[in-house]
């Protein structure tokens, strides 16, 4: 079983924000850790929506022409092809980033079906 505590996984750098893959998911599931005032420059992902869950702290996200303040507990979607950027607030910011490739939506119903089994 892969069990990871976010607080133990979080790594911060004074140079720039940190991107940490979670449990071998490569770039699809990662932790983003920001020191106060750090940012991710404006960018976009052409082939996948990016979802963010704010685990700890406050920050600002810009998606397209809209900017919004966020805080712990918020979930935000940056659609594929739409420019977005993050700026942390006055304290450390920890985000969970999940990128869902466009093709994955075609398989979502099949992938989320549950099959019940008895354990030995």
CA nearest neighbour of 97 among 39, 63, 49, 38:
49
pLDDT at res. 119: 73
Q: Confidence class of residue 65 from pLDDT cuts 50, 70 and 90?
A: very high
Comparison of pLDDT for 45 and 113, the residue scoring more: 45
pLDDT at res. 25: 79
DSSP characters over 39-92: EEEEE--TTEEEEEEEEESEEEEEETTEEEEEETT-EEEE-TT--EEEEE-SS-
pLDDT at res. 30: 93
Neighbour order of strands in the sheet with 39-43: 39-43, 84-88, 58-63, 66-71
Segment 10-34 mean pLDDT: 89
Ramachandran region, residue 75 (left: φ > 0; alpha: ψ -120 to 50; beta: rest): beta
CA nearest neighbour of 33 among 85, 97, 98, 99:
97
Answer yes or no: is pLDDT of 95 > 90: yes
Let me know: does 88 contact 38? Beta carbons within 8 Å: yes
pLDDT at res. 66: 97
40: CB partners within 8 A, 6+ apart: 17, 32, 85, 86
pLDDT at res. 55: 96
Domains parsed from the chain with CATH numbers: 30-103 (2.60.120.10)
Dist. CA 57–CA 91, nearest whole Å: 6
pTM: 0.86
Q: What percent of the chain stands above pLDDT 90?
A: 68
């Amino acid at each position: 079983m892969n069990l990871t505590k976010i607080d133990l996984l979080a790594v911060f750098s004074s140079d720039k924000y940190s991107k940490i893959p979670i449990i071998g998911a490569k770039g699809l599931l990662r932790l983003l850790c920001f020191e106060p005032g750090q940012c991710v420059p404006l960018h976009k992902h052409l082939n996948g929506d990016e979802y963010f869950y704010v685990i700890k702290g406050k920050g600002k996200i810009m998606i397209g022409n809209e900017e919004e303040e966020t805080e712990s507990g918020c979930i935000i979607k940056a659609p594929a092809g739409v420019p977005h950027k993050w700026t942390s607030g006055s304290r450390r910011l920890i985000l969970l980033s999940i990128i869902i490739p466009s093709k994955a939506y075609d398989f979502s119903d099949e992938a989320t079906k549950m099959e019940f089994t008895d354990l030995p």
